Each structure stands twice: as structure tokens, then as C-alpha cells.
A and B are shown apart, each in its own frame.
Chain A
Amino acid sequence: MNGPVNGTVSRVVDVLVVGAGPAGLAAAARLAARGAGRVLVLDREQQPGGVPRHCEHRGFGPPGRRWTGPEYAARAAEAAVGAGAELRTGATVLGWAGPHTLDTTGPEGPERITARAVVLATGARERSRSARLVPGTRPAGVLTTGELQQAVYLYGRPVGRRAVIVGAEPVAYAALDALRRAGARPLAMVTGLPRSQAPLARAQRARLLGGVPLLTGAQVTELLGRPRLTGIRLRRGDGRSTVLACDTVVFTGDFTPENELARRGGITLDAGTRGPAVDAAFRTAQPGVFAVGSVLHAAESARVAAHEGALAARSVLRHLTGPAGWPDADAVTVRTELPLRWSVPNRLTPGAPVAGTFLLRTHRFLTRPTLRVTQDGRTLHRERHHRTAVPGRPVPLAGVWIPRVDPDGGPVWVGVG
């Protein structure tokens, strides 16, 4: 029985932003500065900032600044509050009570908040060992990067002595840093792919200077030990099986959108991203509900998320001040063919701004790929890329072809070759 409960307080705001990470805070700051009225940002964590609040490495913030994650988180929150947005942390959104009404709770008790527009900025999480269906025992010492970083940077807890990192996306290297900080020895990085997904310099520094080998083409087939991890079994590319003795394993990357609120609200999800389907104005299929940041594309950098937040703010303002109206739910969808995984935006609606760039993802490395956009068998666009497309990292696609889309036609397909 998850409905309203006696004693619930009600209030009304103009814009309710769910999630005070980079995307939500940037949207709130811009909305408040541009006079959107009462802008309320909620976050269920005790501190604002989202993922950056537990990323100690530098490189956050506008170009030229080299803020740490917590520095960035604090500044982003200050900017939103300074612009006039109300920021509430420790506030949990429980579910929908209406198209623009959400039930929340926190130390002040249950509340029901109605807004003229809702912005979902709920972010993404790394998939757990169970979600990845890794067999074996259920020992202590099995973490994701997010949990590891919180344990090390927020709680100063020891995490183990000998660790293996699963994955070689950029986030895996952040896990490497956190393990070192905690005094654990990183033994190896393991990936099923043929090489690292991180920038070359980063990957080489870890391997050559850090002495952490990258085992490619390798799958974790079993976790061993109880009650604490004693090792992981690997199947190497040549079919051999080996055991790496370790007391800690960190499952990194493999992000999935935090889409519960969107799903509970009946908001159409994109089949590829599993996040809300949106057009270039960050409009979901649900009138008055926008979505922004890594819930759309698990996961992008804080910089991309914040940039989207600012763009989405413009779109929300237009919705609040302009003529009433929302594009039809049966918009033309943008779909991808293997080896591409998904595209954002993934809906094309009349009246939406022409998306400067579509963000794509690939399942495997693609050397100098040519991207092809078609609709009903008609080629709309071809684009040759001069860089390798890397799994887990953004592959951009220019939006110049949008005017050529038939609004009454079938889905637009993006493929390779």
C-alpha cells in the first residue's frame, strides 16, 4: 500500500527537478536564473552533487578548471542555490500521485509536491555482480566503483588488500585510484574486450607505471570463497581457465539508467538505452515531463550531463511560458542496428530544436566507422568517422539530416557501413 498516507503535506512549485547531480543542478541553476519561478531540486542522498561527490580525481568543471568531484559538486550546488533554486537533500521521491505530482519523504515527513513541469535527472548506476549473472559464492569483498569510492573517500574505510578490477572503461581507472588510496594492491584489470576503453595515456600509465596488467578477452566465470572473497576464476581468450587469488573485486562500468521513477510513471522508455525516450528538447512522451543526464544515456561525463541540463532548462522555460502543447506520443523513433546499441535523443518531434549531436554507443570497437542513417530504406545521411568508436564512450552523430526525415514515415535507423 504505497498510496498517500495521513499527515502528508502538500505544496506546489513551478519546476520539480528529481536528482541533484550535474544534470539536475545545471538545469535548476539555469531555470532559476531565467525566472522559471519556484524551482525545487530534490536529492535522496544527504549531500548534493551526484556521482562527482565521491570522485576524488581532478578534471571536473569548466574547461581550464581542474576541480575534484567534491569541489565540483559543491560549486554546482552553490550555483543552483545562488540562482534562487531551492535544494533539498535527504528527500526521497516515492512515486507519482498524478501526471506532475510526486510523493516524497524525508526527515520532515511525507510530502506531496505538484509542479508545472517535472525534470527527471535520476542518473545511472553500475550493474551489480548479480545483474551481470556472475556465478559463484556470495562473499564479502565484491563492490562496484560507486560503493568503493564512497567507502574510501566518504567513510575512510579499508576495502581489502589484493584487488582485481573488472572492466576497462575510464571509470575502471577511477576504481584503480580509489583502491590505491585505500592501501589495496590492484593486481589486474580484466576485460572481455580486446583492449582498454580509456584514453591511451591513462591506460598506459596504469599498465606501465602502475604495473597493473590488463587481461583482455577474459571473462569472470566464478567468484570463490566464503565469507570473504578468496579469488576469481577467469576464462581467457584461448579458453584456458585460471584463478586469480584476491580478497576484493570491483565491478566497474556497465552502467544502467536509474529508471524506476520513469517506469513507475508509465513514461515510455527507449528499448536501447532503457532510459526515458526523449526528443532533442529532452521531452519524454509524457506531457510536462522532461529527462536529462545519465538516466538518458548510462553513463556520460558530468560535463555532458551539465551541458544537457542547461539545454533542457531552455526547453522547460519554453514549455512554461509558451503556448500549451506537447508533441504526439507517436513520434518518429531513432533506432540503432548492431553493433550500435542506442542513440540519444531517440524521438524526433515536430517543433523540437534540431539536435546538434546525437550520442551513440557501440558494443565493440569500430575503426574509422561510417555511420549511415536511413528511413524506410531511404538513406538520409552518411558520416565517416576518423576516430575509433569505443564501447562505453560516446560516438557523436551530427543532426544535419533531421530536416530530411519524413514525419509520417517509419523509424529512423542508424547503422554502420
Chain B
Amino acid sequence: MTVTTTGPLPNAPYDVAVIGAGVVGTAVARELARHRALRIALVEAAHDVGEGTSKANTAILHTGFDAVPGSLESRLMADGSHRLARYAAETGIPVERVGALLVAWNEEQRAALPELAAKAGRNGRHDTRLLTPGELYTREPHLAPGALGALEVPGESIVCPWSTTLAYATQAVLAGTDLHLGCRVTGIRERAGHHELRCARGVLRARYLVNAAGLAADTVDGMLGHHDFTVTPRRGQLIVFDTLAGDLVRHILLPVPTALGKGVLVAPTVYGNVLLGPTAEDLDDKRATESTADGLAALRAKGRGILPALLDEEVTAVYAGLRAATGHEDYRIRAHPAQRSVTVGGIRSTGLTASMGIAAHVTGLLADTGLVLGEPRDLPPLRMPPLGRRAVRPCRQAALVAADPEYGTVVCHCELVSRAEIRDALAAPLPPHSVAGLRRRTRAGAGRCQGAYCGAAVTDLFERSDAGERV
């Protein structure tokens, strides 16, 4: 069990190096880790897992109902969503099958619903249903007036994206994968049957390579001599409303898709907030994760048209993520057998949903390329913290508090996070590298006050732990 953040990299070559510890890279590492014989390295430029697009998305576990039928994306979404739903149930990743409603606001959109239902059928989703306005408003009484009907997609779910990536990475590490953080890859060369990865922290050798670098997948592919695609970041800004708005919406409210994209959605989150977004802005800068006045104003105008009462509620957080668009409709997953590598590119906005499907697919491609996997085994069991609104928070569990009173010592009042949960996260196999990382693991500071009450206490715990003190 090894996680390194500084210092030199091991000399001995790995069987496989996975570049990128986002939701896709960690899923691939976890899948490979089932094969006991393999020595696996997961290499990440940032100082935590899931620091890129994986931490800033719409947190939806899609069914793939509106994917292009027959595409690789459609297939891997269908496979991945089943796998992740099962995995989430096993490990306690917060997930809720709330279902989605595609709301038609004009005749043209209403007329498009049957075709969307047919497309869903071609993607294997035969359980969609058309709702009358009456049925729609019974389901969603706070919806703005004027909707003409909706298509219900029952399987669409909401999920905790941070727990998902963290679970994959933790399980991979517990099974023996070496996770090297703060380890940006700056060059790759072939040497004596190995890939030599020049990294910020030294050289790492591996026989096989998986490029799951997300926004940087084209750059890493370039290091391997491939120029198949260019990643164009497409920014999505999102607004998170307070949990007191949580009763306003029950389903994921999707617009009827147009040529311009999937549009702006309103959805509950597994923590009880309401999410409004995303924007879709094509940019050049792969670091442009800032929100903008125009973007927020546009979202609020859209939100007012969907769920007017939402705009009276307090905003808890605003964030933006970058989708790794490539100008192609489908995923760009390609094996390079001669080079013993697989590129996983163009996972635009469905990576969370498809992650486990992609992982299985990539593992298969590696085997086809000549990697001897050996027998798979069960991974060490894992239980993620109960962060969701449907779980019983530790501070409410009498037996747990009786056994360890620190579970009753609430530090973050808005999200009811106890000192013990913070302590556990700081002592976990994959501890946070920042207060923000601690927040994603525990919810401490993620509530309406954004740390006004607990920020100093949480920062103090983090800093002392980071300095080596046991807290």
C-alpha cells in the first residue's frame, strides 16, 4: 500500500502505468489491481485524486438514454452505469435513483419527445414514459408554469463524484497499486522494452501504458507520437443552492436536447442541495475553471424559467469544470499494440457514468495487446463514509457515539460533520492534501456558511495533521 507525494520514484519497472488519477484513471487502476500479478503505477500531476474534471461536474449517473445508439460511448455508459450502481451500493457511495424528466416548454420540444423515447429504446432503455402536464406538475409542483409535458427516464441517478473517484483509488491502493501524486509526466520515450516516463519527480518505467490524462490526453498522446485528436476544453459553470432549497425539486430536470448541447439542468444532489447548470463554453485555456459574471447571470435566468422559487434561496457554492471535448461525437479509446499502450480520450461529460465500463474495456484492450493479466481476485472490501442525505450521519448514531464520543463532537455544523470523521479522513490510506480535499472527503465546510463557522477549526485540524501530528 503506497501513496507518495514527494521524493524519488521507484527504480523497478512497473507492468502498467496509468497516467491520470481522475475518475477514469482510478477506475482503470482499480480494475487492473484485481489481477494480483500486475505491478501497477497510477501517476497524477496534481496532489490529490480527482482534481480535474472529476471534481467539478453535474454529479449524475446517466443511463445513456440519449447517447448515439451503437456508439462506444453508448455501450460503455450502459455497462458502466450498471457496474457503478452496484459498486455504489456495495461500498456506500451516495447514490439515488431519482429519475429524470425531460421537460418540454414549447410545441416543438413536445413533438420531439416521442423520438427521444425511441432513441432511448435503441439505447436499451425501454422504461421511459411520456407525462401529461398534470402528471408532471404533480411530480414537480414548484416547476415554472407553462410546461407542456415531459419524458420520464426512470433510471437516471444522482451520485457523489468525489466518493466515487476516492473509492476507486483507495481500493486500488489497498490492493497494491502505487499512487504517485505531484508527478506530472513531461516526456515519454521507449527504452529496452519499457516506456520511460519523465516526471516532475524523476523517471518511472513501465511495460504498458494507459493514457487517461483527461484534458491533457492529447498532450500525452503527442509524447507517444500520436496526433489523433485535440482536446478543446468546454467549460461548465454550476451553482449549488442551499439544502433548504432541497424540497423544491425531486427529479433531475433536463431540457429537451438541441443541436447546441444538453442545456441547463436543475437537479437535487445526494447531499440535499439543488444544482443549476452547466454552461457550455468552448475555450482554449485548459486551466480556465473560474466562474464568470455572465455565466452566473445566464444560469440564474435559465433557473428562473425552470424553478422560479429556487432563485430566492441562498447559494452555497459556485464552481466550474472543463469537459474534455475533442470535436468527435464518440469516445476516443484506442489501443496501440506495437507501442503497448491504450489511449482513453474524449471522455467529454459521461466519464463518471461510464468509468467502470471504460475500465473493463481498457483492461480487455491491454490483454489483446499482449499484457498477461493473470487470475483476477476479489478486491479488499471498502466502505465509504455516509455523506448522503439518505444515510444516517454518524453524529446521529447512538451506538457509534457511545463507542467513540468524537463522533458526537460536531465540528462542521451546516453539514453535521464530526471531529471523528475528519480524524478518520486525515488518517485514511489516501489522505487529503488540502482543506478542499478534506471537504470533498467529509463535507466539512461544504455547507451554507462555507466555513464561516468551522473553517478555522477545520484548517487547524488539517494543518496539524499535515505537520505529522495525530489529531
Contact = CB atoms under 8 A, between A and B. Distances in A.
Given A92-B416, A94-B416, A151 B398 contact: no
Contact of A137 (B290, B316, B397, B399): B290
Given A106-B408, A107-B406, A157 B460 contact: yes
B318 A130 contact: yes
Interface in A217-256: 221-223, 226-227, 256
B452 A105 contact: no
Interface stretch (A141-149, A304-312, A345-353): A141-149
Given A146-B452, A147-B455, A105 B408 contact: yes
Interface in B381-411: 390-392, 395-399, 401-402, 405-406, 408-410
A131 B316 CA distance: 6
Contacts of A227: 434
Nearest to B460: A155
A154 B458 CA distance: 12
A140 B435 contact: yes
A107 B408 contact: yes
A157 B287 CA distance: 30
B455 A150 contact: yes
A5 B434 contact: no
Q: What is the interface residue range for chain A against chain B? A: 35 or more
Interface string B313-325: 0111111000000
A126 B244 CA distance: 17
A109 interface: yes
A138 B288 CA distance: 11
B244 A260 contact: yes
A6 B293 CA distance: 48
A107 B410 CA distance: 8
A386 B456 CA distance: 42
Contact of A110 (B315, B401, B434): B401
B289 interface: yes
A248 B448 CA distance: 21
B459 A131 contact: no
B296 A256 contact: no
A260 B244 CA distance: 7
Q: Which of B244, B287, B290, B295: most chain A Cβ within 10 A?
A: B290
Contacts of B316: 128, 130-131
Interface in A163-188: none
A7 B399 CA distance: 7
Interface in B316-340: 316-319
Contacts of A376: none
B396 A94 contact: yes
Interface in A54-84: none
Given A1-B392, A256-B314, A150 B289 contact: no
Contacts of A130: 240, 315-318, 450
A210 B109 CA distance: 62
Contacts of B296: 133, 135
Interface in B430-457: 434-436, 448-453, 455-457
B410 A110 contact: no
A131 B396 contact: no
Contacts, number: 136
B132 interface: no
A113 B64 CA distance: 48
B410 A105 contact: yes
A25 to B, nearest CB: 18
Nearest to B414: A260
B386 to A, nearest CB: 10
B463 interface: yes
A126 B452 contact: yes
Nearest to B456: A150
A312 to B, nearest CB: 23
A222 B290 contact: yes
B398 A110 contact: yes
A178 to B, nearest CB: 11
Nearest to B395: A105
Given A94-B416, A109-B408, A157-B460, A147 B392 contact: no
Contacts of A126: 452
A318 interface: no
B5 interface: no
Given A5-B392, A94-B396, A135 B293 contact: yes
A409 interface: no
Given A90-B409, A147-B456, A155-B456, A136 B392 contact: no
B71 interface: no
A107 B314 contact: no
B410 A92 contact: yes
A320 to B, nearest CB: 29
A2 B396 CA distance: 8
A7 B291 contact: no
A125 B455 CA distance: 13
B408 A128 contact: no
A130 B416 CA distance: 20
A6 B459 contact: no
A357 interface: no
Contact of B452 (A90, A128, A137, A226): A128
B408 A44 contact: no
Contacts of A44: 410, 413
A408 interface: no
A119 B112 CA distance: 55
Interface string B147-170: 000000000000000000000000
A128 B450 contact: yes
15 contacts: A2-B392, A5-B398, A94-B395, A94-B396, A110-B396, A110-B398, A131-B314, A135-B295, A135-B296, A138-B289, A138-B319, A147-B451, A150-B455, A151-B455, A151-B459
Given A92-B410, A133-B296, 19 more contacts: A92-B395, A92-B416, A94-B416, A109-B405, A128-B450, A130-B317, A130-B318, A130-B450, A131-B314, A135-B292, A135-B296, A137-B290, A138-B436, A140-B436, A151-B460, A155-B460, A157-B456, A222-B293, A227-B434
Interface of B: 240, 244, 287, 289-293, 295-296, 314-319, 390-392, 395-399, 401-402, 405-406, 408-410, 413, 416, 434-436, 448-453, 455-457, 459-460, 463
Interface of A: 1-2, 5-8, 44-45, 90, 92, 94, 105-110, 125-131, 133, 135-138, 140, 143-144, 146-147, 150-151, 154-155, 157, 221-223, 226-227, 256, 260, 263
8 pairs of A and B residues whose beta carbons are closest in the complex: A7-B398, A150-B456, A128-B450, A107-B405, A151-B456, A147-B455, A109-B401, A107-B408
